[in-house]
Structure 1
Amino acid sequence: MHSVQFTAETTSDGVLERDFTVGEIPGVLWSPAPSSAPASGLVRAPLVLMGHGGGTHKKAPAMSGRAQRLVHGCGFHVAVIDAPGHGDRPRTAHDEQEIAVMQQAMKAGEPVGPIVVRYNAHLAERAVPEWQATLDALQQLPEIGADGPVGYYGLNMGTAIGVPLAAADPRITAAVFGLFWPDLLAETAQRITIPVEFALQWDDEHIPREAGLALYDAFASKEKTLYANAGSHKELPRFQADSAVLFFARHLGRTVGSAD
């Protein structure tokens, strides 16, 4: 089993940001910064894993912004790793081929959904065991521990990877998903019974609302909530992240505002 190797750290506005690697997997861990008291240290708190979107990386603005909300709002630890072929990860020949096909379809004005679904399923096959190895390593840290609650937060490609991850790993006890097609995910979603919050855009130009609703409907969770916002694919309101903070506070056992 690989352990977490921290490679850099910075502190800003009460948030400690630490770059790390687990084997060859690069990631970042955001945590509440210790106070200035000599005996202070990192606080034991729940962990939220976040999956980034396609074409972005672990420190994309959406990731750092959501992490800030989760750390400030509830004092969570928040971890993101680069998906295969993204961020600091090298691309394979298969990655390059699929990206080229996707770009050609976009340029020609053709639907990209079937390509994205296929490629993201391939990425999930690679990423799920990487996430599990990362979680194994993070749970060795005293501020996280092996018995603490774990959530998952991922939209777009983060959902494509997160749904099979949540279905495979019982350590994840609550999840936020959204903005993806049901193809290849609906059957897996039927095995998920943990609380789920799901977001879709009512006027999504890529994912028909019927498709988004079908994926939401597939989850077997007794507690699941749908948020449907007006707007296109990239117009998900920022306040949706605040809803996710409240969701994780409720299901991971923290109180909003308990960052210290």
Structure 2
Amino acid sequence: MSSLKFTAESLSNGIVERDFTLGDVPGVLWSPASGATDRAPLVLMGHGGGNHKKHPAMSGRARLLVTGCGFHVAVIDAPGHGDRPRTEHDEAEIAELFRARAAGEPEGPVVVRYNAHLAEQAVPEYVALLDALQELEEIGTDGPVGYWGINMGTAIGIPLVAGEPRITAAVFGQHWPDVLAEKAKRITVPVEYDMQWDDEHISREEGLALFDAFASREKSLHVNSGRHKELPRFEADSAVRFFARHLGGAATASA
């Protein structure tokens, strides 16, 4: 297993931000400044397609979890994203996505195929990350772990959670059921799922089909009006309360 190496550290507004590398995979770990070495739950996050580990959606969600619940939060750049180089395959798939978009063709077939390819590499990386983080005194091997990922973060997160028993609660959303529905059937931990009722890319039937596939006894569907990129910010507050219920925490943060 590759070793975890911290490469930079900063402190701002009560949050310690530590950049790291796990082999050649870059990531970031956010922790509470007060009691940064105290045991606390961990939430792994997955970013959306075309984004990166420190995208405002990632840092904003991390802030809510750290300041509101006292959790540790970690995310890595997905293959071909952020500080990781793109392969020829990445470039070809991105070009095909832009071509389909310009031609007014459905983006789903390209995104589903490409995200499934990225997940094949990213899932083992997240397992290795969890192994490494649990060696840290402030996280440990016996603390609760959650996962939070929307869009591409769902494409990576569903196969990860389906095969990783250490993750005991998850927030997903906004993805097609192709490829993922069969893996979702293996997930039994509590799940919160977000979808947009007027999503121009993912139909209502597709969103409902993926939600329905989860085998979890406790699962909640959060549906809001609006298009694909209009997921309300208050859903982040809901996710924080969800993790506080299932991992432990105060959930006092607001967006």
Does TM, scored on the shorter chain, surpass 0.5? yes
Please give the residue correspondences for 1:193-208 in structure 2 after superposition, counting only pairs within 5 Å: 193-208=188-203
- Residue 41 of structure 1 deviates from its aligned partner by 5.0
Separation in 1, partners of 2:221, 2:7: 39
Residue of structure 2 in register with 1:110 after alignment: 105
**2:237 is aligned with what amino acid?**
D
Which residue of the other structure, out of 26, 43, 49, is the alignment partner of 2:44?
Answer: 49
SS of aligned partner of 1:183: coil
SS of aligned partner of 2:228: coil
SS of aligned partner of 1:241: helix
The two structures have a TM-score, normalised by structure 1, of: 0.95
SS of aligned partner of 1:87: coil
- Residue 197 of structure 1 deviates from its aligned partner by 0.2
Which residue of the other structure, out of 135, 140, 147, is the alignment partner of 1:145?
Answer: 140
Quote the RMSD (CA, aligned, Å): 1.0
The answer to whether the 8 Å contact 1:32/1:43 transfers is no
Residue of structure 2 in register with 1:93 after alignment: 88
Q: Which 5+ residue runs of structure 2 have no aligned equivalent?
A: none
Tell me the percent identity.
73
Q: Which 5+ residue runs of structure 1 have no aligned equivalent?
A: 35-39
SS of aligned partner of 1:80: strand
Residue of structure 1 in register with 2:239 after alignment: 244
SS of aligned partner of 1:170: coil
Separation in 2, partners of 1:199, 1:100: 28
**1:248 is aligned with what amino acid?**
F
1:188-235 deviation digits (Å, cap 9, x = unpaired): 000000000000000000000110000000000000000000100000
The two structures have a TM-score, normalised by structure 2, of: 0.97
SS of aligned partner of 1:233: coil
Residue of structure 2 in register with 1:33 after alignment: 33
- Residue 3 of structure 1 deviates from its aligned partner by 2.6
The answer to whether the 8 Å contact 2:68/2:249 transfers is no
Q: Structure 1 pair 209/41, CA: closer, same or farther in 2 (3 Å)? A: closer
- Residue 4 of structure 1 deviates from its aligned partner by 1.6
The answer to whether the 8 Å contact 1:179/1:201 transfers is yes
SS of aligned partner of 1:153: strand
Separation in 2, partners of 1:211, 1:130: 28
The answer to whether the 8 Å contact 2:44/2:147 transfers is yes
Separation in 2, partners of 1:80, 1:41: 17
